[in-house]
Amino acid sequence: MIMLWNVSNFTSNNTRTEMTDTQKLQFLLTKLQETADSKHCYDECGDDYSPSDAGNYDDAFDVGCEYGEITFARDLLQQLKLQTQIEPHLK
């Protein structure tokens, strides 16, 4: 599940410092990669898996949300990878 994080750093004496844009980008990419690397029930059970088979539709909703977040992270990272491969050739 993707979680929102505060993009501030805290030093050893608990004073708050703002992250640079580079640090923010690295943090975001790390979180995207962690989400994309997550295993999902469809990765393990295949496309035939149906979480509502047990009759709990709340579980089915939660599984669907989780699957959407993981898929979005994977797709976004793939698009970033393709864009960085194409971008130098457009100049």
Q: pLDDT digit string (tens) for 44-72?
A: 777 777 777 777 788 778 888 998 999 99
pLDDT reading at 14 higher than 80: no
Alpha carbon distance 76, 17 (integer Å): 29
Which pLDDT value is given to residue 76? 95
pLDDT reading at 30 higher than 90: yes
- Say if residue 20 is exposed, middle or buried (CB neighbours under 10 Å; 0-12, 13-18, 19+): exposed
Q: Domain ranges for the chain, please list them.
A: 59-91
